[in-house]
A and B are shown apart, each in its own frame.
Chain A
Amino acid sequence: MSQIILYTIITLVAIGAISAIILYFVAQKFKVFEDPLIDQVEEALPAANCGGCGFAGCRNFAEALVKSETFEGLNCPVGGNEVMAKVASILGREAIVQDPLVAVIRCNGTPEFRPRTNSYEGAPSCAVAHSLYSGEGGCPHGCLGCGDCVDVCDFDAIHMNPETGLPEVIDDKCTACGACVKACPRDIIELRKKNKKDRKIFVSCINEEKGAIARKNCKVACIGCGACVKVCPFDAITMENNLAYIDPVKCRLCRKCVVVCPTHAIHEIGFPPPKVKEPEANTDTETTKAADNETKLKD
């Protein structure tokens, strides 16, 4: 009996030893050299695997970073400048500082402003609804409210507001990975420059129809009147296809356009309540700065 056990042990040890030797030589023969830097860079990345950088995952992005000469066109929106600086120090290169971005919903078609003329009961997906028809409110550009953007968000940063039927972005959680931008079949979501205190000024409408038609479907649509273009002191607003667009880089958040917009399509978010007296034209930026300071003091 004990002999059997002994033989078994000897046989298994022998097989194990032979296999180990074979495996060792095979491993030597088929060895693939992998830059140890890739592991280090991957370690520094946020490991979200969100695809925001345009690569399949953090590992692929790390490989691309190690391979590339400069960091041009390579950016991890989730980690931001901090992570990119860390990666740069690992690789001994210079980091490109990028403005942090945040997702912005450019539609304000709540049932109040954009009355629902029919009800959709097809598959609960914006992509499907968009391929079928113009939507519950008649606006062919507006938010369909099925929440494709909510489904794709890996960071729990976008939620549907049941009252308005529109998605809302939580700025602190948003990493600007761009998944929602890709998921939205109507291109409503845009990544815009993140300003101080999450302040935002943007045209909350993407309807390119003529003013009268756009207005018929939605009370807060951009009607392409051009009042904002005229009033903007920084040439930040352009008008194309009956739709105003505020360049987030040129915009200095003076809020003049917000006041003149007849349909209230231009939104201001994160500003203190408006003062009774309108600021003068030339001191405008300063007053906003002053307002900044005031709120800082309050904080």
Chain B
Amino acid sequence: MGLLTFSRGGIHPPENKISAGKLIESPGQPEIVIIPVSQHLGAPSKVLVNRGDTVKTGQVIAEPNGFVSTNIHSSVTGKVLKVDLFPDSSGYRRQAVQIQVAEDEWVDGIDLSEDLVKDFNLSTEEIRNKVLQAGIVGLGGATFPSHVKLMTPKGKTAEYLIINGVECEPYLTADHSLMLEKSAEIVVGIRIMMKGLGVEKAIIGIENNKPDAIEVITKASAEYNNIKVQPLKVQYPQGGEKQLVQALLKREVPSGGLPIDVGVVAFNVGTIYAAYLAVQKNRPLIERVVTITGKSVKNPSNFLTRVGTPVSFLVEKAGGLPEDTAKVINGGPMMGKALSNLDVPIVKGSSGILLIKEDEAHRKEMQSCIRCSKCVTVCPMGLEPYLLMTQAEKGMFEDLEDNKVMDCIECGSCAYTCPSSRPLLDYIRLGKAEVGKIIRSRKAV
């Protein structure tokens, strides 16, 4: 079979994977961590600790507050300084737990060894419970609680498990390095998730700009006939769930639907590895691989970072803030958002920190739309970004809903390709937020 990719839209931004091939390192622990209680989609978790409490690494500090919610664990050992509002990556203050870090001491019952544990003998129910207890959420960026995904809604059946090792976002290499170093663990994780979902077939999608990852994962999964590695032609945004399903299986997720509607459940490789640690080692999700990169960063790295570590700490460990830095982005260049403050913490969904040089940081001046329809051509969801932008600008939210604004995956291809540098995605995001409010209020009635 030749190389697959998704069929509609897509772009080819420069890859700039500067930190590729760098081993995963630990940056150490900062003096103070700030752990937000809302690191996932859904209801913020309910805080269980108080000021002055001593917490151990891996201890639950916030419990789920609703079905779509999950556990939050302390990523360090130490004393709780404050349970208060702290600025998150958007600059708005949200509830978080601030902890003064002491010497690392894990809670009992956690296997800290690096040995590979291959065998497991758990029921579907037990796996789901462990995933919930470990506070696992989608680490690709959407941070949707994973235990919810493991519950197939009534009337639908999961047929395939898809593992997202695409990492189509330029610069980022967190998933790539994880696949290279933890291939055996990932394969065990895949088997666990297959059991958790009750599916027989799994496909790992990896873009062919990562031949080394394709090779090691193929080798690691060789003994299992039902796990297939599928190299994919490089194209952004292939890492989008719906695009990946389309690329691998030629199945189109319906508008407003989820991959489960076409019998598929997709997880990021990072999530799979977290599930392995949770089920086989009892380790909750308190650290993740974060790429610190940028053209003038001295030491671009893939850091295995504890949740709650300030961004400034990681930047320091990667060689300090280069003088010509004009913008620091939380995430990749396509979907990430610029930070207004470097003291914000790394959360479960942070896949990278990107430092942009002065000469590349600024937007070009916005000009009038010339009706070239490039944005329509590249939109992977088949939307009309120019129209959505205008309608969002004019406050025509009912029309926006009719034009399927909620299907937008915010990949930014439209804004990237626009020759007039129009802020298409900015307005579409605004439109999505407003339409989301309208839909919620309609449901509430």
Tell me the A residues contacting B by CB distance below 8 Å.
117-118, 121-125, 127-128, 131-136, 138, 140, 209, 213
Contacts and interface: CB of A to CB of B under 8 A. Distances in A.
B324 to A, nearest CB: 16
Closest A-B pairs by Cβ, 6 of them: A134-B91, A123-B423, A123-B426, A118-B340, A133-B91, A133-B90
Interface string B51-93: 0000000000000000000000000000000000101001111
A134 B90 contact: yes
B92 A128 contact: no
A122 B426 contact: yes
Contact of A132 (B85, B393, B426): B426
B443 interface: no
Nearest to A130: B430
B91 A127 contact: no
> By CB atoms of chain A within 10 A, which of B366, B426, B427 has the most?
B426
Contacts of B429: 128, 131-132
A132 B93 contact: no
B337 interface: yes
Given A121-B362, A121-B363, A125-B393, A133 B427 contact: no
B91 A131 contact: no
Given A134-B340, A138-B341, A128 B427 contact: yes
B433 interface: yes
A232 B152 CA distance: 61
Interface string B408-428: 000000000000000100110
A128 B423 contact: yes
B369 to A, nearest CB: 13
A124 B430 CA distance: 13
Nearest to B393: A125
A136 B340 CA distance: 8
A109 B427 CA distance: 26
Looking at chain A's contact residues, the main secondary structure is loop
Contacts of A134: 87, 90-92, 340
Contacts of B92: 133-134, 140
Interface in B168-226: none
Given A138-B91, A140-B92, A127 B430 contact: yes
Interface of B: 85, 87, 90-93, 337-338, 340-341, 362-363, 366, 393, 423, 426-427, 429-430, 433
A133 B426 CA distance: 12
Contacts of A133: 90-92, 337-338, 340
A131 B430 contact: yes
Which residue, A124, A134, A138, has most C-beta atoms of chain B within 10 A?
Answer: A134
Contacts of A132: 90, 337, 426, 429
23 contacts: A118-B338, A118-B340, A118-B341, A122-B423, A123-B366, A123-B423, A124-B366, A127-B430, A128-B430, A131-B433, A132-B337, A132-B429, A133-B92, A133-B337, A133-B338, A134-B91, A136-B340, A138-B91, A138-B341, A140-B93, A209-B85, A209-B93, A213-B93
Contacts of A138: 91, 340-341
A118 B270 CA distance: 32
A286 B204 CA distance: 82
A135 B91 contact: yes
Residue of B340, B366, B429 with most partner-chain A CB within 10 A:
B340
B54 to A, nearest CB: 26
Nearest to B90: A133
Given A131-B433, A213-B93, 6 more contacts: A122-B363, A123-B366, A125-B426, A131-B430, A132-B429, A133-B338
Contacts of B87: 134
B341 A117 contact: yes
A131 B429 CA distance: 8
B91 A140 contact: yes
Contacts of B340: 117-118, 133-136, 138
Nearest to A122: B426
A221 to B, nearest CB: 14
B96 to A, nearest CB: 14
A66 to B, nearest CB: 29
A140 B91 CA distance: 7
Contacts of A128: 423, 426-427, 429-430
Nearest to B389: A123
A102 to B, nearest CB: 25
Contacts of B393: 125
A21 to B, nearest CB: 43
B100 to A, nearest CB: 20
Contacts of B427: 123, 125, 128
A140 B86 CA distance: 12
Nearest to A135: B91
A118 B442 CA distance: 38
Max chain B Cβ within 10 angstroms of own Cβ: one of A123, A124, A127: A123
B281 to A, nearest CB: 37
A97 B337 CA distance: 51
Contacts of A136: 340
Nearest to A183: B395
Q: Could you say which of A122, A128, A134, A135 has the most chain B C-beta atoms within 10 Å of its C-beta? A: A128
A213 B93 CA distance: 11
Nearest to B361: A121
A133 B362 CA distance: 17
A133 B92 CA distance: 7
Residue of B90, B91, B427 with most partner-chain A CB within 10 A: B91
B289 to A, nearest CB: 26
